[in-house]
Amino acid sequence: MHLTKRSELRRLPARGSRETATVYSILDAGMLAHVGLNVDGQSFVIPTLYGREKHKLYLHGSSASRLLRKLEEGCSACVSVTLLDGIVLARSAFNHSMNYRSVVAFGVARKIEQPNEKVNALRIISEHVLAGRWSEVREPSANELKATSVLEFVIQEASAKIRQGPPIDDDGDYTLPVWAGVIPLSLQAMAPKSDPRLSDDIEVPEYVLRCQFH
């Protein structure tokens, strides 16, 4: 990645990293991204699932989406992913915080036109969300592919920011009789619920049973 000042961390830079491995590890652990862009002077943010392959993120949505059509034109965009790991409770209201891992990535997107490339990108997104699913399901039909816009977002540069550990209080506050610490948070997969119209002889796949998030 070519790094410039737009991905430089200015607020608490000690928590930041522009190392590729750190950025990719957070992107791989996430599932939901928010894509920011500017259209005719108005800023928009689009939530979307994604999948990563090397320095590219694959995004998708309705072909009728005006905002996706703007992205297809190659306008500059920003993609952010945040994972919440805990609520940090300090002894003072000011020093409360969150433990988190986040990435902000800058780049441009291009529309994927070829049907086989679109299918491959959708497979990457599907496998990112739940590995093992794509090989079992019906692949998109020609009409479904036509109704879906698939974008390849090339990460030109990105930065990660991480906060972890206990609260950081002012020295004079450590003697206050107030509980302080961290409430850990995690995205947890619950027991799967079968579709009511599922045939009785179809068992829950192993990859569904072992689904978990980090």
What is the model's pLDDT at position 205? 96
Q: Decide: residue 156, CB within 10 A, 0-12 exposed, 13-18 middle, 19+ buried.
A: middle
Q: What percent of the chain has pLDDT over 90?
A: 82
Secondary structure string (H, E, C) spanning the chain:
CCCCHHHCCCCCHHHEECCHHHHHHHHHHCCEEEEEEEECCEEEEEEEEEEEECCEEEEEEECCCHHHHHHHCCCEEEEEEEEEEEEEECCCCCCCEEEEEEEEEEEEEEECCCHHHHHHHHHHHHHHHCCCCCCCCCCCCHHHHHCEEEEEEEEEEEEEEEECCCCCCCHHHCCCCCCCEEEECCCCCCCCCCCCCCCCCCCCCHHHHCCCCC
- What's domain 5-85+99-166's superfamily in CATH? Electron Transport, Fmn-binding Protein; Chain A (2.30.110.10)
pTM of the complete model = 0.91
Residue that wins the pLDDT comparison between 60 and 9: 60
Asked whether the predicted pLDDT for residue 123 surpasses 80, the reply is yes
Residue that wins the pLDDT comparison between 133 and 5: 133
